[in-house]
Amino acid sequence: MYYQLINFGNEEFYAYPNKSLYWKRLNTLIVSDLHIGKSISYAKNKQFLPPYDTKEILKELFVSLDKIQPSNLIIVGDLFHDIFSTLSLKDQDHKNLNQYMDKTDFIWIKGNHDKNIQIEGFNNYTNYEIDKFLFTHIPIETTLFQICGHYHPKVKISHRGKTIFKTSFVHNGKIFILPSFGILTGGLDINSKKISDVLGKKTLSIYPVGQDKVYKL
C-alpha cells in the first residue's frame, strides 16, 4: 500500500489510502469510525443500504493487519454503529477476530455510538495514553497531542471548474482527526463550524485520500 508520511507531535506516522494510520516506532495501527453493521441498523428502520458493509470493512481491516502485522490496533471510537449492529457479525467473523487478537493487542476506545457495547476479547477504554499522545474519540482539554475520530473529515477540492469532496486526514499540530474507516459513513467538511471549533483558526495540515494514494495539500 502507498502511504503519505505525516509528521505529528515530532513522530512519524504513515497514512494509507484505506484510511488507516500507522505509527511505525511503536508498530501500532490506528483506525477510527468503522461503524460496523450500519446497514443492518438502518434496515430495522426501513432505510435500506447495501448490506455488505460489515464484510467489506472487516476484509479491509484484516488485509491491513496481515500486511503490517502490528503489535497494537487502536480503534479510536465507533467500532459499531449501535448495539443492534453487532448482529451483523457472523460466527466466522468472531473466529477471525479472535485469531488476530492472538497476535495483536486490540485497544478499543469507546465512541458515542458504541459506548454501551461489549465484545469479548477487546480491551475497552474511554481514553488511552501512550507517551505524549492521547487517543480519544472526541477531543478533550489536555496538554497531550491527541489522535481522534468522530467527525469523518472531508475536504473540498476545486480543479478545472469542478468541485469534489475527498475524505481526509487533518491536524492542526496538536489535534489529529482521522477519516472514517467505514464505507457507509459520509463525511463533514473540514471548514464546518463543528470541526473549526475543534481545530481552531490555525493553519491546517490536510491530507486528502485518493483511490491508491494519500495526498498533501
CA pair distance 112, 115, nearest whole angstrom: 6
Whether the model pTM is above 0.75: yes
pLDDT digits (tens, 9 = 90+) for 108-167: 999 998 888 888 777 889 999 999 999 999 999 999 999 999 999 999 888 777 888 899
Residue 143: CB atoms within 10 A of its CB come to 7
Query: Domain locations in the chain?
Result: 4-208
pLDDT digits (tens, 9 = 90+) for 156-198: 888 777 888 899 999 999 999 999 999 878 899 999 999 999 9
pLDDT for the residue numbered 34:
93
Which residues make Cβ contacts (< 8 Å) with residue 135, sequence separation at least 6? Answer: 30, 74, 76, 107, 109, 125, 127, 128, 129, 146, 147, 148
Residue 104 pLDDT > 90? yes
Look up the CATH number of domain 4-208. Answer: 3.60.21
pLDDT digits (tens, 9 = 90+) for 8-28: 999 999 999 999 999 999 999
